[in-house]
Structure 1
Amino acid sequence: MRKDLIKQLIEDRIDEDGILETGVKGVQVFRVTEPLRCSPAVYQPSIIAIVSGAKEVILDGRHYVYDSSQYMCCSLSMPVEAGTPTASPDNPLLGVMIALNTRVMTELAIEMENASGAIRQPKSGPLPPGFALAHWDDAFTESLLRLLQLGESPADTAVLGEGRLRELHYATLKGEAGGSARRAFGVGNEIARCIEYLSTRLNQAVSIQEMAAQVGMSRAVFHRKFKQATSLSPIQFIKSMRLNTAAMKIATGMNVTEAAMEVGYVSSSQFSREFKRMYGLSPRQWCQSNPAYAIR
């Protein structure tokens, strides 16, 4: 089977825990053999395809577990809790992570929407969630295999990498996660643009009214569409993005006060209170219980 070939390519390339670049920009393979409980993380627009083991993600209190039967497509930057609770030396987590290229996804999504016979979603209809799980179809599997096979030749990688990556983006847009991805990157991408605006201003006070004005919506319409896309209210989303981003900074060695200021908290005591309220531990306690911040 083609998926078995993908697994073999990953096993041949990485034999120690960690993340390894493939040579194609934005494409990495990874291996984990130690269980990691779910911890704060921020997923950037990306695809994660598992060929062995399973990953767990918590979004707004809902648990999602995915393995080799489904790949994950995150179309929007999302604050989550993620981990690898079942990883072990006998059952390693193996997979590939592909950063979604905004320019390529937008070009393809708009081309698909403009293509003759393309199915258009009603603009007044519900927004798909920014986090989706999709079954591997033939087009996705074949394009991923062709992409990973480039690693066998640096020359092929340099010449064909961009084209093979574009092929995978197209397969994703056509697959089960396509509705979510097309809405995030196509013509109706107001919420995605708003999240991108917010993500570059985590250290600033951004009001809901300001976010709504960025995409030309009333506060009420913006609130409804934002929650449809992310499952979180704008206020919940902002707080989760700030706290998760700070947690990741603390885990890599930044002190608590500096991390709090980096994401817009003036008071480190307020930051610690809100952190403990969300995660059940103080920032320092959480850091001590998460000595390694590996694959999330």
Structure 2
Amino acid sequence: MTNHKDRNGDYAVATKRDEQARQILARKIAAHAIAEGDMLTAIPGLRLYRRSQPTPCASAAYEPSLVVFVQGKKQVNVGKTTYVCDESTFLLTSVDLPVVSQVVEATEEVPLLGLILKLEMPAVREILSQQEFHVREDSADARGMAIGVTSIELLDACARLVDLIDTPQDIPFLGSLIQREIVFRLLRSPQGKHLRAIATLGEQSHRTSKAVEWLRINYAKPLRIDELAAMARMGVSTLHHQFRSLTAMSPLQYQKHVRLHVARERMLNHGLDAASAAFEVGYESASQFNREYSRFFGQPPMRDVKARRQTGSATSQA
């Protein structure tokens, strides 16, 4: 029989191996992500990320993706739900979500470091369709975002993917293989149930994700909840429940958040005034837009845009 000392020793060894794997990945990311913010790589769907100081709250649009953090700490808010991400965690997003995020721990010596890998649902479905991939039945409602503890297997696969940046000739063949392994590791993790629910055709979560996608694309159109429910092939009350479970928001709140995010981006990057941005994203009243914008971002539209231009703030997913 294994005694407590043996179990504690095994745990200490496992923890040390996890920390070593995390440090290896951190060094590899730091070697490439030299500048602040996101860095695109030659590997399709992969970005690296560095932040050397805490940041104010910033709006962003998260797409289906995996974010692996290896240093620092970040807070991500979806609706009224808060996710705190540190060097031991990954963040899994399975549907498009408007979020507000903030780097809370980062320095020049120990910057926030991470990688962002876009997830393609057809690839997820292809892995799920393989007979050798068995999953447990789980009746829990799926979430559009989930946080988990990064395993040594996931860290190792991510490190090998980052290594391909130095051997671009290997990317076309090995890049897709390693990304498939990463998706496989995610699906096998406790958080995999959220990704499986979205990827599985016919599931309520998958049908709800279609309603989410429609709202994200057609945010400027009037919201008719009965038509949205018919599109998802479910009753209005069921859609409300599933939609809130998936996004932590009602359909109306989701539409409002997307409208405000898009309006802010257009004022920042396209020079629109508040009234023009409001009407472009579907508001019929500029005063209502100003009220909701101030409530959501903490200050009136043009004051907020001016402040962000002065600080050079930019939205980022990691």
Structure 2 residue 150 is the aligned partner of structure 1 residue 136: yes
Structure 2 residue 172 is the aligned partner of structure 1 residue 155: no
3-state DSSP of counterpart to 2:56: strand
| Among candidates 216, 234, 247, match of residue 230 of structure 1 | 247
Aligned to 2:305: 287
Query: 1:252 Cα shift?
Result: 2.8
CA contact 1:41–1:245 (8 Å) conserved in 2: no
Q: TM-score when scaled to structure 2?
A: 0.85
Q: For residues 295 and 64 of structure 1, what CA distance do their matches in structure 2 show?
A: 16
Query: 1:253 Cα shift?
Result: 4.1
| Among candidates 212, 220, 235, match of residue 203 of structure 1 | 220
Q: For residues 36 and 97 of structure 1, what CA distance do their matches in structure 2 show?
A: 19
| Among candidates 93, 98, 108, match of residue 112 of structure 2 | 93
3-state DSSP of counterpart to 1:55: strand
The amino acid across from 1:200 in the alignment is: I
The aligned runs of 1:162-181 (5 Å cut-off) are 162-181=176-195
Q: For residues 33 and 191 of structure 1, what CA distance do their matches in structure 2 show?
A: 38
The aligned runs of 1:10-89 (5 Å cut-off) are 10-89=29-108
* C-alpha RMSD of matched pairs (Å): 1.9
Structure 2 residue 295 is the aligned partner of structure 1 residue 277: yes
Aligned to 2:279: 261
CA contact 1:51–1:94 (8 Å) conserved in 2: yes
CA contact 1:59–1:81 (8 Å) conserved in 2: yes
CA contact 2:60–2:315 (8 Å) conserved in 1: no
3-state DSSP of counterpart to 2:38: strand
**Which segments of 5 or more consecutive residues in structure 2 lack a partner in the other structure?**
1-19
The amino acid across from 1:169 in the alignment is: V
Query: 1:22 Cα shift?
Result: 2.0
CA contact 1:24–1:162 (8 Å) conserved in 2: no
Q: For residues 61 and 229 of structure 1, what CA distance do their matches in structure 2 show?
A: 13
Query: 1:266 Cα shift?
Result: 3.4
Q: For residues 275 and 123 of structure 2, what CA distance do their matches in structure 1 show?
A: 38
- % of aligned pairs identical? 26
- Residues 228-269 of structure 1, C-alpha deviations (whole Å, 9 max, x = no match): 222211111111121122223333343133432332223333
- Residues 11-49 of structure 1, C-alpha deviations (whole Å, 9 max, x = no match): 111222122122111100011113211122221111111
Of 286-295 and 73-82, the range deviating more from structure 2: 286-295
Q: For residues 186 and 140 of structure 2, what CA distance do their matches in structure 1 show?
A: 20
**Which segments of 5 or more consecutive residues in structure 1 lack a partner in the other structure?**
none
Task: Tell me how many residue pairs correspond in the alignment.
Answer: 291
Query: 1:64 Cα shift?
Result: 2.2
The amino acid across from 1:102 in the alignment is: M
Q: TM-score when scaled to structure 1?
A: 0.91
CA contact 2:229–2:239 (8 Å) conserved in 1: yes
Q: For residues 116 and 173 of structure 1, what CA distance do their matches in structure 2 show?
A: 9
- Residues 69-94 of structure 1, C-alpha deviations (whole Å, 9 max, x = no match): 11000111112111213222133111
Of 246-255 and 185-194, the range deviating more from structure 2: 246-255
CA contact 1:56–1:84 (8 Å) conserved in 2: yes
